[in-house]
Amino acid sequence: MRWFYRCPGCGAKYAIEPGRYLCDECASKREPDRPLEGVLECEWEAGAKAEAAAERIPLPVEAEYFPPIPVGDTPLWAPSRLREELGLPFLFVKDDTCEPTGSFKDRASYLVAAFAKKHALREIVLASTGNAASSMSGVGAAAGLKITVFLPEKAPAAKRIQVLQYGADLHQVAGTYDVAYEESLAYSAKTGALSRNTAYNPLTIEGKKTVSFEIAEDLAKAQGAARKAEGSLGPWLAPDEVFVPVGDGVIIAGVYKGFEDLMKLGRITRMPRIWACQASGSSAIARALESGGFGKPVESDTIADSISVDVPRNGAYALAKLKKHSGRAVVVSDEEILAAQRILASKAGLFAEPSSSAALAGLVKARKEIPKDAKVVVLITGSGLKDIQSAAKGVGVSL
């Protein structure tokens, strides 16, 4: 099937090949300390629509290159006690704590690893707040790739240990994620290693879109509406509301991309309303949605380490999608995040890390705006075992 990269800003097209990351023209317009410009999107060529429609989840790398590790197809389940607690009888959680490395990031790592295998690339490098690093290390181990990661020193211990257990090269950076990001780009430029930096590599967004396909397919099954139309899959069912934890803006970009693809394929008939849930100590995208654009970076400070960024790399792209589809932002405090973490664990039996709990905290805060009969999905992106330190605070235990 034929695919290409397209720049949503200027419409330029590029081949999907090693060494291509951003749109040349638009990337050069980026101002210092602002989100990336010229982030590219994957598209199938017009003539390939029938082929795309025949695939359950059309992706720009052929199935034979994906590593032998079971990424995706995580459960969409109905937490009945949480439904009662929130008065939302059609609430679902999409549980990506069940991914092989315990994080949603496996969806991106899986596609990037497949791309590396297809092009016989041996090494992948990335910067991360923790989850992308442990994810790429695990998926890379299954694929037999060398993985090099740049991680802030203050990343939770579990994530650093995961990286080392999977056999990756770990460079600890004295500074924030933003410093690690720049160092990883310099390493990639020097060595030619494939960069899996989130948003910078467009495949990270494309890999994450798979979650929307699974949600729409499983919701249709839950409604008993799944059927195979002649020559294509569907119809499937879009939820009414989706709550997504947001830091860099790549997960929400992937979620949007998935639902947009489903619209293009005619499998769903309308877009869901998507809520960008941010921590009050790292809320650049929410602020930009309110004010219309990105201002000077503010130093991030939140216990939700996975969504703690000064400059949201994919902020410009995520903001454009939120505006285009009338998405909303909701900002929650660390206390609200820890409270949501306890609610999720004690009412659903699902132990999520603080960043994922921010999505539920967002729902709790926006509850009054959600119709009672709405089909609501909360995206739970990472296991609580990844950051015991923060979880301990939530139950009054000092470690």
Alpha helices by DSSP H, listed for the chain, are 24-27, 49-54, 80-86, 106-118, 131-143, 157-165, 177-191, 203-208, 210-222, 250-264, 284-291, 315-324, 334-348, 354-366, 388-394
Q: End-to-end CA distance of the chain, in Å?
A: 52
Which range touches Zn ion (CB under 5 A), out of 9-17, 72-80, 271-279, 341-349? 9-17
Q: Are 303 and 394 in contact (CB under 8 A)?
A: no
Question: Binding of Zn ion at residue 10 (CB under 5 A)?
Answer: yes
- Contact characters 113-152, Zn ion, x per CB under 5 A: ----------------------------------------
Q: Which is nearer to Zn ion, 8 or 281 (CB)?
A: 8
Q: Which is nearer to Zn ion, 17 or 230 (CB)?
A: 17
Strand 41-44 and strand 3-6: the pairing is antiparallel
Which range touches Zn ion (CB under 5 A), out of 37-45, 47-55, 184-192, 366-374? 37-45
Q: Which is nearer to Zn ion, 26 or 338 (CB)?
A: 26
Binder of Zn ion out of 7, 237, 370, 377 (CB under 5 A): 7
Q: Which is nearer to Zn ion, 28 or 346 (CB)?
A: 28
* Phi, psi of 95, rounded to the nearest 5 degrees: -100, 90
Q: Which is nearer to Zn ion, 22 or 329 (CB)?
A: 22
- Residue 22 CB, nearest distance to Zn ion (Å)? 8
Which range touches Zn ion (CB under 5 A), out of 33-41, 137-145, 200-208, 350-358? 33-41
Closest CA to 177 of 136, 128, 135: 128
Q: Which is nearer to Zn ion, 7 or 147 (CB)?
A: 7
Question: Binding of Zn ion at residue 378 (CB under 5 A)?
Answer: no
CB count in 10 Å sphere of residue 194: 23
DSSP state letter for 397:
-
- Residue 184 CB, nearest distance to Zn ion (Å)? 23
Which range touches Zn ion (CB under 5 A), out of 32-40, 192-200, 221-229, 375-383? 32-40
Q: Which is nearer to Zn ion, 10 or 50 (CB)?
A: 10
Q: How many residues bind Zn ion (CB under 5 A)?
A: 8
- Residue 14 CB, nearest distance to Zn ion (Å)? 9
Tokens encoding 212: 């929307």
Closest CA to 40 of 317, 248, 320: 317
Closest CA to 52 of 199, 309, 196, 231: 231
Tokens encoding 255: 């979620």
Q: Which is nearer to Zn ion, 25 or 299 (CB)?
A: 25
Question: Binding of Zn ion at residue 23 (CB under 5 A)?
Answer: yes
Binder of Zn ion out of 5, 9, 188, 351 (CB under 5 A): 9
Tokens encoding 81: 């006690």
- Residue 321 CB, nearest distance to Zn ion (Å)? 16
Q: Are 149 and 169 in contact (CB under 8 A)?
A: yes
Closest CA to 275 of 215, 202, 332, 216: 332
Q: Which is nearer to Zn ion, 10 or 397 (CB)?
A: 10
- Residue 341 CB, nearest distance to Zn ion (Å)? 40
Binder of Zn ion out of 22, 26, 42, 53 (CB under 5 A): 26
- Angle at which helices 354-366 and 334-348 cross, to 10°: 90
Closest CA to 306 of 220, 229, 383, 215: 383
Which range touches Zn ion (CB under 5 A), out of 10-18, 53-61, 199-207, 274-282? 10-18
**Interface residue list for Zn ion (CB under 5 A):** 7, 9-10, 12, 23, 25-26, 38
